[in-house]
Structure 1
Amino acid sequence: MKHVTSRDNALFKQLKALTGSTHQRRKAGQSVLDGIHLAQAYVAALGQPASCVVSERHYDHAEVRALLEKIDSDKLVVLADALFAQISSVVNGVDLMLVIDTPAGHLPATIDTDCIILDGLQDAGNVGSILRSAAAAGIPHAFLTKGCAFAWSVKTLRAGMGANFHLNIVEHCTLEMLESRLAVPLLATSSHADAAVFDTDLRQPVGWVIGNEGGGVSPEWMAHVSRTVGIPQPGGLESLNVAAATAVCLFEAVRQRRASGG
């Protein structure tokens, strides 16, 4: 266990750089999980972190002690309370964070299972919410195109609530990278679709192309979509939030497969 009390300590400077800069996290190939619940989710799903950082005041907190029993002691860093306050973005929470090596996604040779393709989604909260819905619906793969919010940013991770640890997430994907590997039909939502998602057969694996918050699915990807589907909105609003619309589609597929015994 390391005990750090000085802001001039090299380890603290490294932690401050990681927590303060997406560029530094990308450069280091590491991500920061701020808060006890994300930390618990990571350890349960993937095991040991690169390091576990806790404040002096919460070192003996019951949830912290339970988690520390699962983490190798040489990975533990105890920070003075004032130092922890400088690197944490969680307000009124338990002072604990993990530094992890950012999981590297992989491109399967053949994509013949359900997947989501995020086409230029820029809002980290939406990306995290969609990843959360995808993981809950049993989707194994999430492919993010260039221009998407960083899947491992603090905001995305917070919105995802641990979903990242249950998905194969591949960033910076292009149509050229995925086109020859896709062995499932691609679907996208559209306000001009001929069929409602509830009237579309979703019992077999599909790939959902999810478009940018403002512009929707790009023409490049729309040209490869097999079918567009709509979501009935009797309330008369112009559109659903993209994360909400995605959840509707993913869980309609879940409903249909349960009904058919799949």
Structure 2
Amino acid sequence: MAELPDTVADALAEASDDLRVGARNERLTVFVAPAPIDAPGKLSRAQVEGRQDMYVGAGRPLDTADNAWFHEHVHSRQSYETGSGMAWFDDASAEYYAAWLAHEGDHVSREAFYDYVRTDEASDAVLRDTESVTDSASYFKGIRVLAALDGEIRDASDGERTLQDVFVAMNAHEGPVDDEAFATLVEEAAGEPRDEWLATYIGTDAVPAVPDTLGDRTTDRLAAAQLRDEVGDASLVGAVLFVSALVVGVGTLLTRRD
């Protein structure tokens, strides 16, 4: 591993506490995948009795905003179902909060966080038209739009609410979250409509500016507003499992299939 196992386990536990969006698993088992598996990571969408699995490549570091450990953890906290116009949100939110958690946990600098979320890659994409969760627009244009939207919500609410409040509401939403439902949840968090803003940056190739207020430590400020997220949540049990023979076997099988 590029990182010590205890360091990763501690970082994931801290990230779980910092990300207050609900949808915690009773147990999240983390497999570490050595070569020949070279994918950054993957979360199993299967969930059995509050337990879920993910794997991350052994060579993946913690000290990067492009953080596979936190990206897959954020995926494990997504219990909503996306509807029309919202396929991009899964990877955009996982990528944004992976970078945010890396900064919040002091794994990367403020400058590294901003450099990453202000990317110009795939800037001409129209997120609403994104159908595939593997589309690079979801990662890159998506992370920039969510960073800017987080700033919009913070500014409109005088720092009392953030994009995490929208995430909480999405996880609690009954039925698929389409673009109209998303606009409603954003309005509830911001305290005022953001329909035109969303139509511009999700529905066209326009690119928003990212403000300088996202790197501020927010855990204390969020605690009261998001206390409801913690009520009834099961505690996280993190386990980093080393099963080299099994994982190498799977990797060999995947290589043969290619």
- TM-score of the superposed pair, with normalisation by structure 2: 0.26
- The structure with the greater share of residues assigned to helix is 2
- The structure with the greater share of residues assigned to strand is 1
- TM-score of the superposed pair, with normalisation by structure 1: 0.26
Q: Which is bigger in relative contact order (C-alpha 8 A, separation at least 6)? A: 2
